[in-house]
Amino acid sequence: MGRGRVELKRIENKINRQVTFAKRRNGLLKKAYELSVLCDAEYQRQVSYGFYKRITYIERYSNEAYMIRIYHRQIFGEDLGPLSLKELEQLERQLDSTLRQIRSIRTQSMLDRLSELQVQERMWLEANKALQNKLEEVYAENQAGPSWAGAGAGPAPGEHCCSYEQHHQHPQSQDFFQPLDCNSNLQM
């Protein structure tokens, strides 16, 4: 349910009048600010109360957010008309300085990422080397022959045994391991 309409006439009680003035002034100033933000309008607020008391607000130009919006538009090349040649040169120097700073940060970020990738590469190379060493150990054990080989437990006639050395020479380089070419024909 909404409020009822107040009859517009002078409030005789001085205290009530001051309270009403303060409340309505704040509401009015809030509406003016909202209008300036929504419509990007410039405004000057002047509110008078009494004969000697004068309240003047020129908040728009002292408002930090407004100045930032103007600067932001100028950086993007908008609203440059009112700027003098000196101000344009200063803006150009600021843009150049900012661009150098951005490029420096980007370069540092790329160097940091490169460093991380180099550390990762070393870890992978070490893991690869460890796997190569393990493969060499397994190969050396297979060359010596299993201890049960003399007991006649070898493959049955006609069966094929997969051996790494049957088809490949042992890799001696840092290359990645190649897949084994084993004869996978199984007889049942």
How far is Cα of residue 11 from the mean position of the Cα atoms in its chain? 58
The mean pLDDT value for 78-87 works out to 84
Instruction: Report phi then psi at 47, rounded to 5.
Output: -125, 130
Among 188, 185, 181, 137, CA closest to 163? 181
Residue 46 domain-assigned (yes or no): yes
Give the Cα separation of 143 and 80 in Å (integer): 82
Q: Does pLDDT of 59 surpass 60?
A: no
pLDDT per position as a tens digit, 143-153: 876 555 555 44
Within 76-84, where are the H helices?
none
Give the CA distances from residue 142 to residues 9, 150, 162, 165, in Å, rounded to whole numbers and listed in that order: 109, 14, 12, 10
Residue 47 domain-assigned (yes or no): yes
The mean pLDDT value for 120-135 works out to 96
The mean pLDDT value for 113-117 works out to 96
The mean pLDDT value for 125-154 works out to 80
What does the pLDDT read at residue 168? 47
Residue 97 domain-assigned (yes or no): no
Give the Cα separation of 56 and 116 in Å (integer): 60
Q: Look over the chain and give the mean of its residue pLDDT values, rounded to a whole number.
A: 75
Residue 91 domain-assigned (yes or no): no
Asked if 6 and 23 touch (Cβ cutoff 8 Å), the reply is: no
CATH number assigned to the domain comprising residue 39: 3.40.1810
Instruction: Report phi then psi at 49, rounded to 5.
Output: -140, 120
Residue 45 domain-assigned (yes or no): yes
99: confidence class by pLDDT, cuts 50, 70, 90: very high
**Tally of domains within the chain:** 1
Return the ∠ at Cα 47 (arms to 33 and 66), rounded to 5°: 30
How far is Cα of residue 100 from the mean position of the Cα atoms in its chain? 20
Asked if 183 and 155 touch (Cβ cutoff 8 Å), the reply is: no
Domain span including residue 51 = 14-62
97: confidence class by pLDDT, cuts 50, 70, 90: very high
